[in-house]
């Protein structure tokens, strides 16, 4: 059996279709089942020692796409630099036939207009508008808003253009859900957990906070940028991810917090456990800070 390094150079650069390699006489069927290659999808392979991430899987899936199909949903969002991938995220694609879902590859059945198909990084991908539209139609409101926030933050789409796209597809499945998600989406949210924090606040019945608020001294000097804030009440809300446990980050956070307190700001800090598992308690604490 050949080692990965002994594979033809044409097969060492990225994913390849096994049937094409066999038909060309580059590999045998037995070699495709050997230790030198790794199967990613049916008929899509890569050398066994290659690093495989979601982009690699997208490249492999693109080899299988029929004419008129494209990578879509969260996979397309990644190609627009909006990373909203879930753990063990399958590659997502849209096709009007000719390809079925399989382990690691989720295929949505739908036609794509030529204007809905772009190329990004050499790969067929749904356009930014179509990608945002598909993300917004998720039956999971939180997931839909996370997708829209990410696409808006990356400036891949604009709210007015997306609203017009929804108006142009009034009979499509999920359009009402998409409109509800768009009403909650905001362009300056920097991460999915910040979206979840903001949604927990708004859906919990509290007034909507300002996103990415800059706190300045009376003389106009920058002090800090808060994830979300209530400027009138001088209450800031922060999501603390794992990076805040780093020693240097912890020290920087302490200095920043002291500066905010000297300007009479109160800052409530929440972790993933608060946002994901204790939203009611989180809302109660914010309500008390706001005195509403």
Alpha-carbon distance of 279 to 289, in angstroms, equals 15
What phi and psi values does residue 223 have, to the nearest 5 degrees?
-115, -50
Evaluate if residue 2 carries a pLDDT over 50. no
Q: Are both 206 and 236 inside the same structural domain?
A: yes
Predicted confidence at residue 1, as pLDDT, reads 41
Q: Are both 62 and 114 inside the same structural domain?
A: yes
Q: What is the mean pLDDT of residues 235-248?
A: 74
Predicted confidence at residue 251, as pLDDT, reads 81
Q: What is the mean pLDDT of residues 178-201?
A: 97
Lowest mean pLDDT across 2-16, 68-82, 220-234 = 2-16
pLDDT digits (tens, 9 = 90+) for 106-138: 999 999 999 999 999 999 999 999 999 999 999
Predicted confidence at residue 247, as pLDDT, reads 60
Q: Are both 124 and 139 inside the same structural domain?
A: yes
Q: Are both 143 and 227 inside the same structural domain?
A: no
CB 195 within 8 A of CB 149: yes
Question: Band of the pLDDT at 169, cuts 50, 70, 90?
Answer: very high
Q: Are both 43 and 60 inside the same structural domain?
A: no
**Distance (Å) of CA 249 to CA 49, 241, 254, 255, 265:** 36, 11, 9, 10, 20
What phi and psi values does residue 157 have, to the nearest 5 degrees?
-140, 165
Predicted confidence at residue 4, as pLDDT, reads 55
Evaluate if residue 264 carries a pLDDT over 80. yes
Task: Tell me the torsion sign for CA atoms 161, 130, 181, 270.
Answer: negative
Q: Are both 104 and 155 inside the same structural domain?
A: yes
pLDDT over 70 percentage in the chain? 95
- The residue segments making up the domain with residue 207 are 192-290
Identify the helix (H) or strand (E) that includes residue 250.
helix 247-262
What total of structural domains would you count in the chain?
Answer: 3
Q: Which of 136, 157, 184 is the last residue in one of the domains?
A: 184
pLDDT digits (tens, 9 = 90+) for 206-239: 999 999 999 999 999 999 999 999 999 999 999 9
Predicted confidence at residue 283, as pLDDT, reads 97
Q: What is the mean pLDDT of residues 271-286?
A: 96
Burial class (CB in 10 A: 0-12, 13-18, 19+), 26: middle
Q: Which of 153, 184, 215 is the last residue in one of the domains?
A: 184
The CATH number that applies at residue 237 is 3.40.960.10
Q: Are both 179 and 62 inside the same structural domain?
A: yes
Q: Which of 150, 184, 218 is the last residue in one of the domains?
A: 184
């Amino acid at each position: 059996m050949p080692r990965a390094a002994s594979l033809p150079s044409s097969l060492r650069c990225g994913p390849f279709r096994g049937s094409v390699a066999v038909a060309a006489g580059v590999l045998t069927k037995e070699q495709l089942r050997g230790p030198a290659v790794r199967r990613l999808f049916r008929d899509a392979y890569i050398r066994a020692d290659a690093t495989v991430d979601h982009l690699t899987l997208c490249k492999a899936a693109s080899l299988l796409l029929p004419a008129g199909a494209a990578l879509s949903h969260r996979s397309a969002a990644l190609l627009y630099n909006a990373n909203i991938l879930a753990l063990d995220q399958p590659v997502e694609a849209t096709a009007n036939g000719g390809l079925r879902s399989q382990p690691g590859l989720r295929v949505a059945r739908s036609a794509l207009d030529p204007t809905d198909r772009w190329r990004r990084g050499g790969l067929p991908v749904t356009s930014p508008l179509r990608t945002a539209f598909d993300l917004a139609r998720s039956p999971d409101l939180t997931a839909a808003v996370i997708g829209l926030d990410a696409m808006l933050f990356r400036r891949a789409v604009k709210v007015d253009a997306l609203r017009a796209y929804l108006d142009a597809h009034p009979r499509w499945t999920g359009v009402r859900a998409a409109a509800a998600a768009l009403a909650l989406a905001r362009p300056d949210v920097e991460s999915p957990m910040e979206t979840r924090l903001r949604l927990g606040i708004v859906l919990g019945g509290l007034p909507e906070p300002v996103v990415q608020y800059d706190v300045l001294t009376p003389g106009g000097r920058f002090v800090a940028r808060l994830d979300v804030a209530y400027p009138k009440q001088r209450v800031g809300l922060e999501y603390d991810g794992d990076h805040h446990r780093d020693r240097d980050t912890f020290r920087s956070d302490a200095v920043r917090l002291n500066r905010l307190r000297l300007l009479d700001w109160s800052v409530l800090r929440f972790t993933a456990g608060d946002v994901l598992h204790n939203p009611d308690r989180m809302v109660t604490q914010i309500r008390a800070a706001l005195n509403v």
